Structure 1
């Protein structure tokens, strides 16, 4: 497919060709006309699909000429590394060097940055907190901003930089808003809702090549760690289904927290792999856990963990995502005919890592409905409440403009509880009717 489909100027097409971009990316085909048309856009897709190139091209195309009295494009990114990457992409495609582009991060002298902005720039690439500081010092004039762009928005939320983004967006009242993110979740929507104007939400799902078969993967999305504890207790309360389970967490202290959260009605039923404290039930050898029928749940910390043979264990739960996605992937790859159900718990912030895992294995996790009797902890009030009823969800359906409905492929057409679903899977594995 030709670059002509993007309807770019001849100089930009020539710059793209010289840079080795011979065909347009899917994200460019789906978003470019909307961006050039002035619509607010939220583009959701994994790393490496061409998001940065898309908005760099759109910015150079829309601004057309340089040297006005105030900046006309403000691009917010999570950190100095991303600032450098975006500036490099502008330098690659801005062949005539007509635009004055400033890179602003938190490590530079704020006085020098103030002088640079007051001397005149057309495009600013900045981290949110430093951009806000310059705005409050009256060095950053947002009155002429035409394009307000947030890249890697999910990382900005993860860093807790939502307030500077919202304040700057609201100050640039006449601008078009363009958001690029790997995931879209409630916390991100909460940041976007105050300033997005009926955006087009465009999702790009590009999975990597499937190089190995993996076990069945189930995903539970929950708001916080406390709710994870409640969900784990609820699921593992069904001893008939979950008769042998390994639960992975990241630290030994977390492993102890999870252990103490259980009621421990049956002696030796719940244990820790190599516990920190002698009075906690535990095993130093996983083979001992496998051999003892009464030992049903083993909590394992990733901290300092060497290779662990979890073969023969039918349920593997990742209550926390390990720092390296390869750690989890290694545990879910199929070996022989063994059938395992791999369950992952994820908060909104952890969804970034979930998407990276899905992209790496070339397969999406199956999103599960939360059990009706799950006690969901409200992080704002720290009070425990049950999952919303259908009527309550209907009342809350009038959400912000950034909210979008699930794709048809993600909508559930069954009404099984988590326990029933797991039980059906487990019985099928054992050849039971």
Structure 2
């Protein structure tokens, strides 16, 4: 039977009223297939790209089965890889369960556990948590797991990329074996398949789109830019176009993200209309920036992949990949921030010759070729500084060694000492973006503007012959 309305599911009136108020009318394909299975207590393996409605696909059955507040111990556990995604899921529990008395709690790191512990002691029915914080509070005796009957792993592929498997296995050992399991992932590689066989019992696989597919509502394009400065020039050009109303810019490192923010807020966008978030930003700063972006109070959010799966904003017009992610599946999640809720969106990627290797891997995963366009006539193509050119050549050599371990290298170094390619790239970017750093000539050095010196080598001496300079950012 074709399902065309939420009224066709075996859900109570409280949930149906909340769904109607949220404006949901026709269930998405993942909801049509998953909700009946979950209500029937089957273990489910869901393969679905971001933005397909999978959060409601597992939350509605959980809310239906847990039904009302009871006792003090949790009866459902939802695990997610990042605090942003945990907060997003917890918000969805609030919205879908608004007409119930169910008690729910988000557990994540980055802030003290005192308030979370107080809420646990008062009683909770549903926990949404990152694996690390959940295990911390369990070991301290604050969580009783004996009544958990449903467990969800959301974004399982990302959890494995982030190294959460030891914590997940520890959690599986301390919760009841008689329970329903739901596992959701945007990709279904070998590691996720092994996890599903370990975690699920006779699961029913639901796959509504091809593995690692990109959203149908998102148009994709690549612009080849030879260097960091040209990428900045292209960003400057794009952000002056009228249709770039709500934009997320993804950078690989926190250093690059900060440099983008400094340039745009100084040259292109009013400072109150742009925010930057990454692992070095405090929890409250990140939450406030996300909320302001969702509410439409800021135009541009610059982020590392820490936020790629934690932003659920229906009207993101553009996603810009300033540089490509090294975890290739993250490309799918990045561009999935636009084209949501049946709206169209555009994903734009800047590409250097050192990133050509990565885009080929991404195209293999998404089983599609991303179209390329020449840089617009108004974009200035800058000359590549010596340091950045050397860093890219070394990176290309490393890529070739991955494919052919016998490869010895295509060029000889002349002026650059043996640094990691990522460090050289970050030093070159910091120099070009005008990032603040110590100057050998004293306080007279001006920060916050592009250096006009594009050639020459960077000094690496600092007292006692030790090398100095900023290290590559962590995501």
- After TM superposition, the score normalised by the length of structure 2 is 0.47
Change (3 A) 1:212 1:92: closer
8 Å contact kept, 1:45–1:205: yes
SS of 1:48's equivalent in the other structure is coil
2:102 to 92, 99, 104: 99
Distance 1:359 1:176 in 2: 39
Change (3 A) 1:109 1:354: same
Q: How far apart are 1:17 and its partner, in Å? A: 0.7
Look at both structures and tell me which one has the larger radius of gyration over its CA atoms. 1
Distance 1:96 1:320 in 2: 40
8 Å contact kept, 1:67–1:100: no
Matched, 1:160 2:163: yes
Distance 2:12 2:98 in 1: 12
Q: How far apart are 1:322 and its partner, in Å? A: 10
Distance 1:168 1:2 in 2: 36
RMSD of Structure 2 on Structure 1 (CA): 3.9
Change (3 A) 1:358 1:33: farther
Distance 1:160 1:65 in 2: 35
Correspondences of 1:202-351 after superposition (within 5 Å): 202-205=206-209, 207-209=215-217, 346=361
Change (3 A) 1:213 1:304: closer
Change (3 A) 1:358 1:117: farther
8 Å contact kept, 2:187–2:329: no
2:35 to 12, 25, 32: 32
Structure 2, unaligned stretches of length 5 or more?
A: 223-251, 254-320, 336-346, 372-401, 406-475
Matched, 1:86 2:94: no
Distance 1:110 1:319 in 2: 31
In the alignment, which residue of structure 1 is the partner of 2:458? none
Matched, 1:77 2:86: no
Distance 1:191 1:79 in 2: 19
2:199 to 195, 201, 206: 195
Distance 1:134 1:184 in 2: 31
Q: How far apart are 1:203 and its partner, in Å? A: 0.4
8 Å contact kept, 1:40–1:197: yes
Deviates more, 1:318-327 or 1:60-69: 318-327
SS of 1:177's equivalent in the other structure is strand
8 Å contact kept, 2:42–2:204: yes
Change (3 A) 1:202 1:360: farther
Change (3 A) 1:320 1:89: closer
Change (3 A) 1:213 1:157: closer
1:3 to 1, 6, 24: 6
Q: Deviations over 1:33-56 (max 9, x none)?
A: 111111111100111000111111
Distance 1:304 1:92 in 2: 34
Q: How far apart are 1:345 and its partner, in Å? A: 5.4
Q: How far apart are 1:198 and its partner, in Å? A: 1.2
Distance 1:359 1:12 in 2: 42
Q: How far apart are 1:15 and its partner, in Å? A: 1.1
Correspondences of 1:47-58 after superposition (within 5 Å): 47-58=50-61
Distance 1:197 1:51 in 2: 20
Paired residue total: 252
Correspondences of 1:83-162 after superposition (within 5 Å): 83-162=86-165
Matched, 1:174 2:182: no
Q: How far apart are 1:343 and its partner, in Å? A: 9.7
Change (3 A) 1:213 1:146: same
Change (3 A) 1:109 1:200: same
In the alignment, which residue of structure 1 is the partner of 2:22? 19
